Each structure stands twice: as C-alpha cells, then as structure tokens.
Structure 1
Amino acid sequence: MSKNYDNYNSRPVNAVLLREKLLQIGGEDSLSSVSSSDYFTWSFREIDSPLADFSNLGISFSYQEIALATGFFSDDNLIKRGQSGDLFTGQLSGPVVVKRFYFQNQEAFSLELGFFSRIKTHPRFVPLLGHCFETETETEREKFLVYRYLPERDLSNSLFINNPDRPLDWITRLKIARGVAEGLAYLHHQCNPPLVHGYYSYSVLLELVTGKLSISSSSTDTTSSIKFLEAMLPCINLYDKTPIMKIVDRSLRLWDEDHLKEVWSMAIIAKACLNPSPTRRPPVRYILNGLEYPLRVVEERSLDVLGVKYRFEEIK
C-alpha cells in the first residue's frame, strides 16, 4: 500500500482481532510481520467539529417527528440493534430508516455525521436525508440520523435468509463485492484527505464465499470472529483450489470450472485483506480490479492496476 494509514491521527472505532491469533491461524509464512501493537483497529480520521457545524447537513427533524415516524420506536418497526444504536423503519413523506444512537455512543454519532459532511453523494452509500439533535427529556440526550429506506435491506437479510430454495446466486454475490469495493475505493483514493473505514479488512468477501455472517456482524464478539477465521483461512491456498470446497457455501450453485475459480479468487483476495498489517493489504483500487477480472487473479497470482502488480506471494 502506498500510504500507511496507521500514521493518521485517528481514533479507534472498533478493535476486532488479535494480530497474534491471525498469525497462528495462517502460520508465520502466510501473513507478514506485524508491529508491536496487540490489535489492528478499524478507524476513521478523527472528527473534531462540533455538532453545530453539521446543522445544515440534510433536513433537521424534531424529536416529535422522529418519534411519530417510527411509532415511538416500536418493536414492530425495529430493524435491528447495532453496536452504536438501533435501526427503525419509519414514514416521513416516504419510507425512511431512523438510527437512534445510544447515549453512551454519542461519539459514534459525531463520527457518522462527520463522515457524511466530508463525502459527496455517491451511489454506493446510503443517502443521508437528515438528523435530529433534539431529545425527549434533558436526561436522555439521544441523537438520530435519518437515511433513505432501501427495500433490499442489508447483506444478512439477502445472503443469510433461511430460504434454501432461493439462495443468493454467485453473480449477485460478485456484484455485491464489487459495489462495496467501489465505495471503499472512493473513500481511500478520491477523498482528500482519505477516509479509511473500518471495513477495509473486507471480511464481507469471506462471508460471501462461505455464506456465514461473522466478522462484519454487529452481534459477533471477538472470540467468535477468531473461531470463524481459524476454520476458514487454512482452507484458502494460493496454489490449490481444492481446499476451498470445504468452506464454500453449500447453497451456492457453481455451474462450471470458471465459477469455482472466481470463488477461489475472491477467497484469496479476502485472505490478503485480512492481513493484520494494513501496509501489507492490497490497495482497494487493486481489489476492485481483481473483482472485475477474477480469473486473472488465480492465473497470474496477482492484482494488477495499470501494469503495477500486487503479488500474492507476499502473503502466501
């Protein structure tokens, strides 16, 4: 990677996996050397601006409007509970999603709102429609963000729905992976200064291959994530596609050899993205190119952008 983002003045949002555990899973030869830090973190560049600076970002809703829109935050409108807050469906002259931030996670609210203040409209990001700084009482001090409602909802709803008769097909999974890569590429390579998301470890690739929601799930703890990687990473071999069949989602219908090679390619990219050293992970623009030409990845053992190659021999 051309720039070491660890050197940015950043505030950790979420620490996910022990570096030493990753080394134990893949072996000393499979991952590059690591720094003295015990953890690698998912982080945004620190947002220093006060909330008042964000008052013109989208529509300013009142607490009463937000409460009425969500049925006063009824369980019937609850989408899911996350680490930083709860998501509700609602109606505000159209369907919306309201995120209610917990009182103890007001910093997460500032980070998320600050993120949208720095980026331009992009088709790969859920549009932010507005916010609410009001609270019902002086003691609650809740904060809210309002997003456009997307009927397809999130990855867990599409990929892990209990419907064996209609599994998510491989072409759709590949499109999801490319879409996420396009969004991350915008943050890393087009924003100035770059915004480095926490999901750059890009575990979603491994989840698309295996059909198991683990690392990116808001309800998954560190121990479960480590066990997931302990089971999955040893089956990803750069020079032999056979072991990958042990972990491929059984509901995934692979029609021919090229399909299998594409799955193998995504798994190889996923393993590179899970390198505990950020400077050893492939830049997102390389990942995007690899996902657009997955067969080339396993044939050349590299990711290529304008003739500059990232060689997978670095991570084996």
Structure 2
Amino acid sequence: MAFRILSSLILLSLGAAVSTSAIVLEEQPLRVEGTLSVPFKVNGTVYKTWVFQHASPAVLPTARPLVVLHGGPGLTHDYMLPLTDLAASRPVVLYDQIGSGKSSHVASNDSTFNWGLDVFLQELDNVLSILNIGHDFDLLGHSWGGVMAAEYAVRRKNPGLKHLVFSDSLPSNELWDQSEGELLAAFPEEVQSDLAVGFDDPVRYRKGLAAFFAVHGCTVNPTPQGVNVSFDYLFEDPTSSMRMGAALAGWSIIDRLSQITVPTLVLNGAADISQDFVNQPYLDRIPHVTHYKFEKSSHTPMWEERDEYMQVVERFLG
C-alpha cells in the first residue's frame, strides 16, 4: 500500500540539508490572545510563520507555555484548537507549519526549496526564540507533530523542554504502515482504490479519505469545523504532502527513544491509526513515560473525548 493516507496525516522528509536562520527581531511577549507573523529565512528567502497564542491573563506572568504541533504536514492548527481549553492554566501556542494554512507556501515547481525535517525543526526553534519561551516550555505533537516533537527532544536536548506529549503519533514509519494496512483491509475495494489515487485525483482521494477518517480519524458527526478547515487547506495546496511523501519510507526513531529524558505522555484512541503496537516502543524505551488510551476515540480524542483529553493532559503537565 502506497503512503496515500499518510500523506494527509504524518508525512516526513529526510531531504538534503537546508540553510535556515531566524530573522533578528525584538522578542514578542506572550499575550492573552493574538497572532503573529514571524519571519523565517530558508536558503536566503524570507517566509512567514503564522502563530496563534491564547492564555488567561492570570497565568501569563509565570505559567509554563504549551506549544502544540499539528499533523500533516499540510494540515493546520485549526483542528488542534480544542487545546486552547487548557489556556486557563497555561499559555497555549499553536502555529501553521511552513507550507500550511496561513503560513507561507512554497510553489510546487520551486526546485530550490529542499523539504526536510531540518526546516521544520528550525521553524520551531524560531517560534520559541521570538516568543522567548525556549528556556521553559512543554511540547505536544499530534500525529506528524509527534514525529517533530520526538526529533526535537532527541536532537536539541534542550533543558528548557520540561514535558513531552505524543498524541496519536508514531515512532516508526514501518509500524504506522503496518497499522494503516491492517485497518484499510477492512474497507470496501472502492475506498481502497480512492485512497490509492492520491492527489492525482483529489475528488476521489478526499472521498476515500473521508470514509476512512470517519472510522479511524474523527468519529464526531458532523465532522468538527476545525477538522474540515484543516483538510480544506490541505487540498487547496497539497505541495508539502506531495513533495515529501516519497521520502518517508524507512524513518524511525525507535533506536533513539532512550535519549528522551523528560517526562513523556503517550496518548492514543481505541480506534486510532496509532494502534497500541505502534506506541509500544515509546513505552518500552522512554525512561519516564506514561500511557493513556481513550476508549471512545480514534485519531482525534481532543474532539471525540474532549473533556477527558484535557483532564489527562492537564494532570500530566501539572
């Protein structure tokens, strides 16, 4: 099975090295609610990262912020907006990753832009720097965002990272592909065929994706607006998904998970693409790890069991 569903949920590239650097700007303090357009330079070209922040006034001076990494690449912060429920006790920071949503997009025929994991990690570095929170923050990554979060923790070893949450994510492409294949086998041939065409036929692809996602992606009916908005953005410009899908094969962080030393929470749903066996390496190899499974959820428990999800994350972050 080609990585068609993956291209909408957790894509990754291991492409050539990219020269990235932050633009020197005055630090922007966290606010009760607001947006920023943060300049971000890649190979001499200045792009913009769209950042959203939300917090209760009472917690701004002292509370540790939670930075949220959405899935995709190609999805947006919109489907992760339920995490702002936590803003009563901590600032919550979300942003659209490069190539997604309200952030800068890269032309599909731009051969000078080398898509790769490095550029996403540098973008995260840039956001942390501009907001002046890199010395003390928590990090939550959903699906592909969990791939980013794991690589950040292992590569950066930043003492400012205090807690890590892997929500419905994966430590290895092989395990994810196995899970996806098992689940997809239960669907009619028409759905499998629709998914196999990918963005070559976006109408068919979205139809197949909707059928699969209704069972293993988000079981809330009707589908929440934030989820629809994120997928609308993806299908308006699938460049990042299309450019990066082929490079996903073979990625794994399993052998490096023991290097994650911060307290870590692993979350998944009973009907999740991120099945229990996908998450087992996290539990076996991360020294300080806790697992929680949402029995009435699939891939988006922040929507499907919203109150319980927030309670679990809140208790873990403290």
Which bin holds the TM-score, normalised by the shorter protein? under 0.3
TM-score normalised to the size of structure 1?
A: 0.23
TM-score normalised to the size of structure 2?
A: 0.23
Task: Mark the structure with the bigger radius of gyration.
Answer: 1
